[in-house]
């Protein structure tokens, strides 16, 4: 099955800094989503981005499907950005199940 690898596993930032999180996947995908899991465990949709670039406020994401990776950019980080960021992909099967990476744990210090 498809393998999803995220890097780095852990990241500590000072408030105001920028960061890039990476997601590599081992096969072609029909769907890619980025999620933020906050410290209370809630999983929040950030982007649905099987290809191309999207922006939402301080966050943006780019997926290069032909090269099997996606990047999540966080600019001017805030303490509320802390939590775990997951990349998840849906492969060529038609059940739509998402395959998750192990996540990047981000801590933003004031």
Partner 1 sequence: GAGVSQSPSNKVTEKGKDVELRCDPISGHTALYWYRQRLGQGLEFLIYFQGNSAPDKSGLPSDRFSAERTGESVSTLTIQRTQQEDSAVYLCASSPRVGSGNQPQHFGDGTRLSIL
Residues that bind partner 1 (CB under 8 A): 30-31, 33, 35, 41-43, 45, 48, 50, 86, 88, 90, 93-103
Q: How many CA atoms lie within 13 A of 51 on its CB side?
A: 6
- Minimum Å distance from CB 33 to partner 1? 6
- Our CB check for partner 1 shows the closer of 16 and 44 to be 44
- Minimum Å distance from CB 42 to partner 1? 5
End-to-end, the C-alpha distance of the chain in Å comes to 41
- Our CB check for partner 1 shows the closer of 96 and 110 to be 96
DSSP state of 93: S
- Our CB check for partner 1 shows the closer of 39 and 41 to be 41
- Minimum Å distance from CB 22 to partner 1? 15
DSSP state of 28: -
Torsion angles phi and psi, residue 67, rounded to 5: -105, 5
Neighbours of 104 (CB within 10 A): 21
The Cα 108–Cα 18 span in angstroms is 10
- Minimum Å distance from CB 15 to partner 1? 25
- Our CB check for partner 1 shows the closer of 44 and 64 to be 44
């Amino acid at each position: 099955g498809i393998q999803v690898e995220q890097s780095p596993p852990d990241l500590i930032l000072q408030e105001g800094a920028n960061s890039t999180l990476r997601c590599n996947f081992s096969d072609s995908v029909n769907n890619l989503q980025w999620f933020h899991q906050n410290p209370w465990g809630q999983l929040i949709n950030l982007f649905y981005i099987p290809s191309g670039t999207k922006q939402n406020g301080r966050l943006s994401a780019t997926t290069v499907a032909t090269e099997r990776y996606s990047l999540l950019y966080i600019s001017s980080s805030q303490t509320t950005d802390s939590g775990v960021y997951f990349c998840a992909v849906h492969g060529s099967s038609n059940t739509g199940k998402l395959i998750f990476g192990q996540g990047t744990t981000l801590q933003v210090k004031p």
